[in-house]
A and B are shown apart, each in its own frame.
Chain A
Amino acid sequence: MGGLLEVKDLTVQRGGIAVLSGVGFTLDAGAALILRGANGSGKTTLLRTVAGLQPPMAGTVRVAPDAIAYAAHADGVKAVLTVAENLRFWAGVYGSVAIEDALAAFDLGGLAERPAQALSAGQKRRLGLARLIVTGRPVWVLDEPTVSLDRAAVGLFASAVQAHLAAGGAALIATHIDLGIDAAELDVTPCRAIATTAQGVFDEAFR
């Protein structure tokens, strides 16, 4: 019996060319994994593949259906809606109702009725992350979640992740900073696909 998320021998592609290959890890309930690697090393592509937004070139991602909550650089925050409306929308989509916990976790209570266009970049980011809590999904897949957050907000985020892990969730996070979470680390640099090898059936054809 594996964990919540099992990635085996995964090759991910961008524009038909393999970027990372042979990526493998397992995430158990209560565990977090931090992805490391330079800009452009393929972390985003890997996360999008894990989240099911793009098909893997080879290998498998095993995860229960509807288990992943994905968050990327773009928060999907609608500027003309208020903070509470933005969150309530996602809560409705995911079939939950309460947004108070999410507001509290990211200290957005005082901003709830403010339109999102009046938020600073960091506040917007917090709103984007608060969405994760209302999804109620066990596996968080996060791409650079701390961009534009100040130190206090990073602290809020770290405690939100820890609370999520304590509740039996799991998190896969690509980040460059130290979150202060007890988590394993995976450097994707060695997984970089070697350009000259045959990369799956498609690309071989156009060697």
Chain B
Amino acid sequence: MIRLLIRDLALAVRAGGGFGLGLAFFLIVIVLVPFGVGPETVLLARIAPGILWIGALLACLLSLDRIFQLDFEDGSLDLLATAPIPMEGVVAVKALAHWLTTGLPLVMAAPFLGVMLNLPGPGYAWLVLSLVLGTPALSMIGAFGAALTVGLKRGGLLLSLLVLPLYVPTLIYGTEVARRGAEGLAVATPLALLAGITLAAVALLPFAAAAALRVNLR
């Protein structure tokens, strides 16, 4: 399975892998926000945690369909299905690879973009922590959506429609941690709930996604 992870990472960072696209998208979304709502620093500071979370979520969404689509098209997925790796493992590894190539760079970029939105000082640590805890759930839920839509010709749009409602709890708890952190309030409750959602998604969704993949392969 470690082999699969290494291969997926190699595929992502080499030419045509789309690595960095999500990051650039994240940057553009954040740059566009002040154009939309005006440059007042007070307003930007107040909405910064939410905007950063939504930007990260959309950037994450952008690359979801690549998780399985390319492997499905070139036959790798058939071969992986007959290989001595459980399908659940394939899903988990691919979601992890997606997180490492998309989620983690977003987490690292978020504080810098936070400066541009005038995020208050105490907010940075909580923003990063909430993204570190929350983005794995975004990747895992996205992998589930990608597994459902992998066989479809126009899967990309449907994928967004399926996945975005599933992102609601993660988004709510994630922004709540970042917002309360920025305002200097207690964050323990939303932090625990956010971690709980991520752990549950990582523990359970590989099974659902693997079931969906098996259906799509037959």
Contact = CB atoms under 8 A, between A and B. Distances in A.
A72 interface: yes
B16 interface: yes
Contacts of A53: 78, 81-82, 217-218
Contact of A94 (B6, B11, B15, B83): B83
Interface string A53-96: 11100000000001011111111111111000100011011110
Nearest to B16: A80
Interface in B62-89: 71, 73-85
Q: Is the interface of A mostly helix, strand, loop or mixed?
A: loop
Given A48-B218, A89-B7, A76 B84 contact: no
Contacts of A48: 218
A85 B10 contact: yes
B218 A55 contact: yes
Q: Is the interface of B mostly helix, strand, loop or mixed?
A: helix
Nearest to B7: A89
B75 A76 contact: yes
B75 A80 contact: no
A66 B81 CA distance: 11
A75 B74 contact: yes
B82 A68 contact: yes
A75 B75 contact: yes
B153 interface: no
Chain A contact patch, size range: 20 to 34
Given A72-B75, A76-B75, A81 B7 contact: yes
A93 B78 contact: no
Contacts of A66: 84
A131 B80 CA distance: 12
Given A48-B218, A53-B82, A81-B10, A89 B3 contact: yes
Nearest to B15: A80
Contacts of B16: 79-80
A53 B215 CA distance: 9
Contacts of A68: 82
Contact of A54 (B17, B85, B218): B218
Contacts of B73: 74
A78 B78 contact: no
B217 to A, nearest CB: 5
Given A75-B74, A90-B83, 5 more contacts: A48-B218, A72-B75, A74-B76, A78-B7, A93-B85
7 contacts: A53-B217, A54-B218, A69-B82, A74-B74, A79-B16, A90-B79, A92-B3
The 9 closest A-B pairs by CB, nearest first: A74-B75, A54-B218, A92-B3, A76-B76, A76-B75, A80-B14, A76-B79, A70-B82, A89-B7
